[in-house]
Structure 1
Amino acid sequence: MDGETLQETAGIRAEELPAAEMTHPFGPEYGVFKVVGRMFLLLTEVRGRPIVVLKADPRDSEALRQAHPDITPGYHMNKRHWITLEPGGDLDEEMIRELVTESYLLVVERLPRAKRPVDPASFVSRPRDSPAP
Structure 2
Amino acid sequence: MELDELYDYCSSRPYATSGFPFDENLMTFQVGGKIFAMIAVHFWEQGDRNIILKCEPQLATELREEYEDITYGYTMNKKHWNTVYLRGRFTPDQIKEWIDHSYDLVYDTLSRKELIQLGKTRL
Q: TM-score, normalised by structure 1?
A: 0.77
Report the Cα offset of residue 43 of structure 1.
0.5
The 8 Å contact of residues 24 and 30 in structure 1, kept in 2 or not, is answered as yes
Q: 2:8 aligns with which of 5, 12, 28?
A: 12
Amino acid paired to 1:92 = T
Task: Tell me the SS of whatever aligns to 2:90.
Answer: coil
> Where in structure 2 are the equivalents of 1:92-103 lying within 5 Å?
92-103=91-102
SS at 1:13's partner residue? helix
Q: Give the aligned partner of residue 79 of structure 2.
A: 80
Is the 8 Å Cα contact of residues 9 and 96 (structure 1) preserved in structure 2?
no
Letter in 2 for 1:109: D
Number of matched pairs: 115
Q: Percent identity between the aligned chains?
A: 30
Counterpart for residue 19 of structure 2: 23
What residue identity is the alignment partner of 1:27? D
The TM-score, its normalising length taken from structure 2, stands at 0.83
More helix by share: 2
CA distance in 2, matches of 1:112, 1:99: 23
Question: Secondary structure, in 3 states, of the residue corresponding to 1:17?
Answer: coil
Instruction: Quote how far apart the aligned CAs of 1:87 are.
Output: 2.4
Q: Which residue of 2 aligns with 1:113?
A: 112
Query: In structure 1, what residue type is equivalent to 2:22?
Result: F
Please, what is the CA RMSD of the aligned residues?
A: 2.2
Gaps of 5+ in 1: 120-133
CA deviations 1:24-67 (Å, max 9, x no partner) are 01111111001010000000127931220000000000111111
Consecutive unaligned residues in structure 2, runs of 5 or more? none
